[in-house]
Chains A and B, each alone.
Chain A
C-alpha cells in the first residue's frame, strides 16, 4: 500500500530551527516534494529531492534517504509567517506525474 507519515502538529519559537520529518512507503518513487500551505490557500512548492542528500534553498533545506524511506524539511531562522501546514508528497511511478500526499504538519511559530 501507499503510506506517508508526518507529525500532525509542531510548535517552534521565532528565530529557532525546526525539523519536520516524513517517512514513506510507496509502490513507486519518483522523487519527494515539500509544499507549504497557509490556511485556506493553495499549496506552494518548496523543494524536490530524488537523490540522497541535502538540498538547500535559502532558509529552507530538505533531506532525503531513499534506503530509509525518510525525508525531512529544515526551516532556519523561523519567522511568524512560516506558520503554515507543510505537506510531504511522493511522486508515483511512471510518467504520470501523480503525487501522493501525506496529511501535512501544522507548524505554529510563537514569539
Chain B
C-alpha cells in the first residue's frame, strides 16, 4: 500500500542529545514537509522540500536540520540547539490534484512521532 511512514511512534531522548526522526513515502510525491504540533497551537512548518537535493526553512527552523538525498526520504534531525524539542512531529508530502472546479495541492500526513526530551 502507498503511504507515508514515520518511525518510531514514540521517542524518548535525554536533553543535549541530537535525534533523527525518519519519514519515508512511496507515493512518488515531489514535495515533503515537516511540521511540529504543540497543545493549543496549530501545526507549524519546520522545513519543506520541493524536490530532491533542495529544501527550505519554514517558520520555526532554528534547532532543526533536514536532508533530501532521495525522493522517498526526508529525515529531520532535532539538535541540542532546539530549546523546547518535546512535541508531536508530523511529516507530510503533497500531490497536485485536478479537482472538480480548480486544481489544488493536497498534503498527506504520516502518523507522527511523539518526541519527549527528558
A interface vs B, CB < 8 Å?
4, 8, 31, 33, 40-45, 48, 50-51, 55, 87, 89, 91, 96-99, 101-104
Are the CB atoms of B42 and A31 closer together than 8 Å? Answer: no
Please give the number of chain B residues whose Cβ is less than 8 angstroms from any Cβ of chain A in the complex. 30
In the complex the two chains form, what is the Cα distance from A42 to B33 in whole Å? 13
- Tell me the minimal C-beta distance from A62 to chain B in angstroms: 12
User: With a CB–CB cut-off of 8 A, which chain A residues contact B102?
Assistant: 31, 50-51
Are the CB atoms of B111 and A41 closer together than 8 Å? Answer: yes
User: With a CB–CB cut-off of 8 A, which chain B residues contact A51?
Assistant: 101-102
- Tell me the minimal C-beta distance from B43 to chain A in angstroms: 4
Are the CB atoms of A98 and B43 closer together than 8 Å? Answer: no
Interface string of B96-118 (1 = CB under 8 A from A): 00011110111111111010000
Q: List 22 A-B contacts (CB under 8 A).
A: A31-B104, A40-B88, A41-B111, A42-B111, A42-B112, A44-B109, A48-B99, A48-B104, A50-B102, A51-B102, A89-B42, A96-B56, A97-B48, A97-B50, A97-B105, A97-B107, A98-B58, A99-B43, A101-B42, A101-B43, A103-B40, A104-B42
User: With a CB–CB cut-off of 8 A, which chain B residues contact A104?
Assistant: 42
Contact of A43 among B45, B100, B104, B109 (CB under 8 A): B109
Contact of A103 among B33, B42, B110, B114 (CB under 8 A): B42
- Tell me the minimal C-beta distance from A21 to chain B in angstroms: 15
